[in-house]
Chain A
Amino acid sequence: QKEVEQNSGPLSVPEGAIASLNCTYSDRGSQSFFWYRQYSGKSPELIMSIYSNGDKEDGRFTAQLNKASQYVSLLIRDSQPSDSATYLCASSRGTGRRALTFGSGTRLQVQP
């Protein structure tokens, strides 16, 4: 079992719709969670971080964390074609090895 799991997609949504990206993790020692966006051939770009249960909103993005269910999600409202990319979910432990552990990513396609 991978430590961080994501559906590889592609997830296809029409322009203006809400895109919902999901991630589960297996390490209960994970305390910090991150969403990165990666365009083809480029390096990952941090778009959201979340550390506590509940929702965190930043512009069109909302991250959701449920530690009891070991589940993290990212909602993108009013999706734009420029949001088309691979979204990587990552987790980090609070103690010991604090390097990020990444999922394999979900490819999002926003159709104009």
Chain B
Amino acid sequence: DGGITQSPKYLFRKEGQNVTLSCEQNLNHDAMYWYRQDPGQGLRLIYYSQIVNDFQKGDIAEGYSVSREKKESFPLTVTSAQKNPTAFYLCASSRSGTNTEAFFGQGTRLTVV
């Protein structure tokens, strides 16, 4: 099945820990994105990548890091510098170019304990 797979579905982090969220796609999409959603809110862009080995900061990149070593994979690390990491994290991908649709994975719900 073609799609976007995020893992884990639920993740618990202790204060001061770094955690990495996985996002893999087999849609052959060039572009990948990470969004954060807080309760009752829309999606806010953390990082995006339009091509392998290149990525750009979104609107709320502080406390997060990413890598894009393979076309299929775009992992997100939530570092200890992120002061309020509890949220629903969504990965998406799309073809490159204009007028392209983005599709989402199932999300990872991160909770700080």
B interface residue numbers (CB < 8 A to A): 31, 33, 35, 40-45, 48, 50, 56, 58, 90, 92, 98-107
Q: Give the residue among A6, A90, A100, A101 with the most B Cβ atoms within 10 A.
A: A100
| A49 close to B101 (CB less than 8 A) | yes
| B41 close to A104 (CB less than 8 A) | yes
| A44 close to B41 (CB less than 8 A) | no
Residue of B nearest to A45 (CB): B104
Interface presence of A60 (CB below 8 A): no
Residue of B nearest to A99 (CB): B48
| B43 close to A32 (CB less than 8 A) | no
Taken together as a complex, chains A and B put the C-alpha atoms of A94 and B97 apart, in Å, by 8
Contact with B along A61-104 (1 / 0, CB 8 A): 00000000000000000000000000010101011011111111
* Minimum CB–CB distance for B34 against chain A, Å: 10
A-B interface, 3 closest residue pairs, ranked by CB to CB distance from nearest: A104-B42, A102-B42, A102-B43
Measured between beta carbons, the chain A residues less than 8 angstroms from B48 are 97, 99
Taken together as a complex, chains A and B put the C-alpha atoms of A72 and B45 apart, in Å, by 21
Residue of A nearest to B33 (CB): A99
| B42 close to A100 (CB less than 8 A) | no
23 residue pairs of the A-B complex, CB under 8 angstroms, read A6-B42, A31-B99, A32-B99, A32-B100, A42-B106, A43-B104, A43-B105, A43-B107, A44-B104, A45-B104, A46-B101, A49-B99, A51-B99, A95-B98, A97-B48, A98-B31, A98-B98, A99-B48, A99-B58, A100-B92, A102-B43, A104-B40, A104-B41
| A105 close to B90 (CB less than 8 A) | no
| B45 close to A101 (CB less than 8 A) | yes
